[in-house]
Homo-oligomer: A and B are copies of this chain.
Amino acid sequence: MIGRLNHVAIAVRDLSAAAALYRDTLGASVSEAVPQPDHGVTTVFVHLPNTKIEFLEPLGADSPIMKFLERNPDGGIHHICYEVDDILAARDQLKANGARVLGSGEPKIGAHGKPVLFLHPKDFNGTLVELEQA
């Protein structure tokens, strides 16, 4: 069911510092910062040859990553995202296997303009898993 690793998302307090670190110290290709008000984050993408790192900085008072940063003041890996061909088929199969889908269970349009769902970390080795329709 799962295909490529679309990205690894890292929550950070200071997006500019994280972007500069990966651009200048690690020598990677780093995008501009893009505010995503619908998702309560500002994003920067690090383009690696085979996948992406997505930096997330809180945007707005009720950003969904604020609690994570309170628990992890240095930042940290927030989630990993796998691509699937058909997100509704994937969701239904996962639910039939007992996995919990977060929120309403209906896909939302993610930061890349594609339908996404999040799966419960307790069902996936303590790891928040995003599924994105490829």
Contact = CB atoms under 8 A, between A and B. Distances in A.
Contact of A75 (B25, B26, B126): B126
How many copies of the chain does the oligomer comprise? 2
Nearest to A13: B125
Contacts of A27: 1-2
A121 B12 CA distance: 12
Interface string A70-101: 00111111001010000000000110010100
Contact of A97 (B5, B25, B80): B25
B80 A77 contact: yes
Contact of A5 (B5, B10, B18, B76): B5
Closest 7 CB pairs of A and B: A74-B126, A1-B27, A76-B126, A75-B125, A75-B126, A77-B77, A50-B50
Contacts of A1: 26-28
Nearest to A22: B2
A49 interface: yes
21 contacts: A1-B26, A2-B26, A2-B28, A3-B48, A5-B8, A5-B48, A5-B50, A8-B8, A8-B80, A12-B125, A18-B125, A24-B97, A25-B93, A25-B97, A26-B82, A55-B125, A74-B126, A75-B125, A75-B126, A76-B126, A77-B77
A112 interface: no
